[in-house]
Amino acid sequence: MPNENKFLQLVNNSFKYRLFLLSNLPAAYFSGVRVKHADEASCMVTVPFKWFSKNPFRSTYFACLSMAGELSTGVLAMAHCYQSDPAVSMLVRNMEASFTKKATGITTFTCNDGEAIKNIVAKAKQSGEGETLKVKSTGVNEAGEVVAEFYITWGFKVKMQK
């Protein structure tokens, strides 16, 4: 079984994933950020409007929206780096965001750039050089209206052997 599938099985197993989230991303856990679907090509992440994720303007706090937008890209990046040989490190290099509508309910972020991420990780492994890739995550409300768009630039680099 490819390593991507092993990682995605962990993410799609809600108990193990929630333990991972609680121990590694507690702010996302308590904000209600959840992975709803993940495969090699795409990832869907939701964030609710609730007490812990709200702002004084009666909408979802931008930082909670940012966590969900970044996570929808990060799950794909982690999947393609998981147990890689050689090992590949990943890091957010840049983030751009636009907010077009108040988020007042469940917002679902989708990233469909898994194939591009897979290719850039393979390129970094082959070249031994650091590579970057800008990926997109779009957040929509329950009516299907765009609430926010995130462009996350990921950096990938083969880890040095000790």
What pLDDT score was predicted for residue 132?
97
| Cα pseudo-dihedral 8, 88, 109, 39, rounded to 10 | -30
Q: Are 45 and 68 in contact (CB under 8 A)?
A: yes
Given a cut of 90, whether residue 83 has pLDDT beyond it is: no
The confidence score (pLDDT) of residue 100 equals: 96
pLDDT value for 5? 67
The two structure tokens encoding residue 72: 């929808």
CA separation for the pair 90, 44 (Å, rounded):
20
Domains of the chain: 3-158 (3.10.129.10)
* Cα–chain center distance at 43: 7
Buried b (16+ CB within 10 A) or exposed e, 88-106: bebeeeeeebebeeebeeb
pLDDT above 70: percentage of residues in the chain: 91
Residue 24's pLDDT band (boundaries 50, 70, 90)?
confident
Do the beta carbons of residue 80 and residue 123 sit within 8 Å? no
Q: Which pair of structure tokens corresponds to residue 69?
A: 């937008």
- Computed over every residue of the chain, the mean pLDDT equals 90
pTM summary value: 0.90
- Residue 12 above 60 pLDDT? yes
Tokens of 159: 């880890």
- pLDDT, tens digit, for every residue of 86-139? 889 999 999 999 999 999 999 999 999 999 999 999 999 999 899 999 999 999
Average pLDDT value for residue range 55-68: 92
pLDDT band, very low/low/confident/very high, at 2 (cuts 50, 70, 90) = low
What's the Rg (C-alpha) of the chain? 16
Per mean pLDDT, which of 8-22, 29-43, 70-84, 105-119 is the most reliable? 105-119
